[in-house]
Structure 1
């Protein structure tokens, strides 16, 4: 199975696309995540929509708006409220995780590999096969 992050942006206007992706694929929706971190001294959140793997193909997309939304626990904001409203609308809970910032890693691909490892270890996504 191939699991890959697909970055839509940093959560400004692209948060609307992330929400529409979840609504349009509600039959494939696996989970909603909020990754909280501190990047360059600012508490930020990444919103993630995970879909079930394709059949055939075994490709599992993880759509992300990376580190552009203020952490709602520190500074409530409309963009995160829209994501929380989506979870309520779809009858799902948002899974909150504290993670390292992407700037901690030499390459963005290493950051995404790290996140996939954390999600596999916690059994939020299927293990490598």
Structure 2
């Protein structure tokens, strides 16, 4: 199964796109995930919509708004409130994990490989199958 991150941006329009992806694919939602990290002493969050694999094809997309949203416990913000409202609307929980920041990786692709490993180890996405 191919599992790949699809990165959107950090702004409101990107969050609205992430939310629209979730709404239009509500029947395929596997998990809604919040990845917490600290960057330059700022507590930030990445929001992820994990969709179930397509059939045929075995492709599992993970749409992400990476590290652009302050953690709501650190700084209340409208972007996280919108995502929380989406989770309530779609009757899904938001799962949380603490992860390393992307800026410690030399390449963004290495960061995404790390996240896939973390999500697999915590059983948020299925293990690799050949």
Asked if these proteins are the same fold (TM beyond 0.5), I'd say yes
TM-score (norm 2): 0.97
Deviations 1:32-83 (A, max 9, x none): 0010111122111000000000100000000000001111111110000000
Alignment check: 8 A CA contact 1:12 1:68 kept = no
Residues 71 and 96 of structure 1: CA distance in aligned 2, closer, same or farther (over 3 Å): same
Structural RMSD (CA)? 0.8
1:17 paired with 2:9, answer no
1:27-106 matches, within 5 Å, as 27-106=27-106
| TM-score normalised by the chain length of structure 1 | 0.97
* Structure 2 segments unaligned to the other structure (5+ residues): none
**Mapped partners of 1:124, 1:98: distance in 2:** 13
Separation in 1, partners of 2:128, 2:11:
29
3-state SS of paired residue (1:13): helix
- The answer to whether 1:127 aligns with 2:127 is yes
Number of aligned pairs? 129
Runs of 4+ in structure 1 over 4 Å off: none
